Amino acid sequence: MPYGHQYIDESDVAAVAAALRGEWLTTGPTVAAFEAEIAAIAGTDDAVVVTSGTAALHVAYAAAGVTSGDQVIVPALTFAATASTASLLGAEIVFADVEEDTGNIDPESVAALATERTAVISAVDYAGHPADIDVLLPIARAAGALVLEDAAHSIGSTLRERPVGSLADLTTFSFFPTKNMTTAEGGAVVSNSEALITASRGFRGHGLVRDRAEQRYPNEGPWHQEIHKLGLNYRLPDVLCALGVNQIRRLAEFKASRTAVFERYQDGLGDLDGLTLPTKRSDVDPMWHLFPVRVHDGRRREVFERLREEGILVQVNYMPVYWHPYYEDLGYRRGLCPVAERYYSEEISLPMYAHLDASDQDRVIEALRSILA
């Protein structure tokens, strides 16, 4: 039993097969169709699909204009890509600590760290619980920075009844198999800013300018295209977009199922002393990607190993990013973000996915109860 798993059914298989039989394997009409579906879920005018959640972060930081000399504020408790993609663009990463209850970036820590050098403040919706973007936006505006929401965990979640995607200046999604929906590999950038969407599309496709009105040498010939700004090839093929269209139409079903798993854990583990269960604040409706529990009394490793021995393939999300030797070698030291470090030292992600059946879940609950008894 893994900690996360895709949920593929025959309708997904049929959608991919139809795409393979069609004319367009890539750069075809299913790309725009998938982008329209994502924008509808995210509450934005547009979306830009790319080859991974990591590519989405790279594209979003590039669209935000992140460059050497800039600072980007990132929570310590996240997957390294939230930071590494900004590092690749030359930014200096400033790690913010997280909140005790949600594991999300702490606005007070952000307010203390933001300066005129801050280009982007990145929030991660840890486990699917939206970060409070409404509080981060005024802090960012005062520093002249943008807010990026790394929503790799949280497509389908809402904050104060507004969908994740419509909250921050830029939001990125991941469609890796363990995430809330999948295209095998894939991701997307959404924004309500036309300029940021245009810049994202540019970076996804080599920065090629095809519009004559914008070209420097429009009379070169009908074949002519120009590069004004560098980009990469991060195009998501139609074959995978077809899977994405079918998956996103099942998102409400996935959310109901993940909510039921969340509630069954709350009922089955809520009374255990040695364990803290994830918090859900009253103003959010999360689509749960992870079920992160915190094991007390220094027993995390023991509990992790005993669950694994029973075939329950739990995970730890995440080691503080600056503990990675790459960041340590840049001078970041342990102790920098104590709340994130304590969170990491206690955390285990229990199996959480859309078709986890009740009897398997009860086996997880029983195993934990007997280990902690």
Ligand X SMILES: *Cc1c(COP(=O)(O)O)cnc(C)c1O
Show contacts with ligand X in window 154-213 (CB under 6 A): 174, 176, 187
81 vs 121, beta carbon nearer ligand X: 81
Write down the least CB distance from residue 73 to ligand X, Å: 15
Q: How many angstroms separate the CA atoms of 349 and 333, rounded?
A: 26
What is the smallest separation between the CB atom of 174 and ligand X, expressed in angstroms?
A: 3
Considering only 81, 114, 143, 350, the residue that binds ligand X (CB under 6 A) is 81
Name which of 197, 69, 72, 201 is nearest 146 in CA terms: 72
Residue 211's CB is within 10 A of a number of other CB atoms, namely: 9
For ligand X, which is the closer residue by CB, 34 or 79? 79
Q: Considering the complex, state which of residue 56 and residue 145 has its C-beta at the smaller distance from ligand X.
A: 56
Site for ligand X in 19-78 (CB under 6 A): 52-54, 78
Per-residue binding string, ligand X, 123-142, x by CB under 6 A, is: -x------------------
Instruction: Output the smallest distance, CB 38 to ligand X, in A.
Output: 14
The least CB distance from residue 210 to ligand X, in Å, is 28
Cis bond leading into 7, ω under 30°? no
Q: How far apart are the C-alpha atoms of 174 and 373, rounded to whole Å?
A: 38
3-class DSSP state for residue 143? helix
- Beta carbon of residue 82, minimum distance to ligand X (angstroms, whole number): 5
Cβ 318 to ligand X shortest distance, Å? 8
Nearest residue (CB) to ligand X, 225 versus 233:
233
Q: Please pick, from the candidates 44, 71, 82, 104, the single residue that binds ligand X as defined by CB under 6 A.
A: 82
Distance, in Å, from the CA atom of 227 to the CA atom of 216, rounded to the nearest integer, reads 10
Contact between residue 70 and residue 80 where contact means Cβ atoms under 8 Å apart: no
Determine, following the binding rule CB under 6 A, whether residue 321 of this chain makes contact with ligand X. no
Binders of ligand X among residues 107 to 126 (CB under 6 A) are 124
- Residue pair 144/98 in contact (Cβ under 8 Å)? The answer is no
Smaller CB separation from ligand X, 166 or 174: 174
- Least distance from C-beta 227 to ligand X, angstroms? 25
What is the token pair recorded at 213?
């009105």
Residue 97 Cβ vs ligand X, minimum distance, rounded to whole Å: 17
Residue nearer to ligand X on the CB measure, 53 or 231: 53
Segment 336-365, which members bind ligand X (CB under 6 A)? none
What is the rounded CA–CA span in Å between residue 292 and residue 315? 9
Q: How far is it, in rounded angstroms, from Cα 124 to Cα 289?
A: 12
Cβ-closest position to ligand X: 53
The answer to whether residues 1 and 364 touch, using CB atoms and an 8 Å cutoff, is yes
- Asked if 166 contacts 43 with a C-beta cutoff of 8 angstroms, the reply is yes
Tokens representing 358 are 């009740």
Distance CA 131, CA 366 (A): 32
Minimum distance of ligand X from residue 286's CB (angstroms): 14
Q: Note the helical H segments in 92-224.
A: 107-113, 133-143, 194-204
Beta carbon nearer to ligand X, 191 or 209: 191
Is the distance from CB of 131 to CB of 106 less than 8 angstroms?
no
- Which of 78/102 has CB closer to ligand X? 78
Stretch that binds ligand X, among 104-112, 146-154, 252-260, 364-372 (CB under 6 A): 146-154
- How far, in Å, CA of 314 to CA of 240, rounded? 28
**Cross-strand pairs, 124:** 150
Q: For residues 3 and 176, which CB has a smaller minimum distance to ligand X in the complex?
A: 176
Residues near ligand X (CB under 6 A) are 52-54, 78-79, 81-82, 124, 150, 152-153, 174, 176, 187
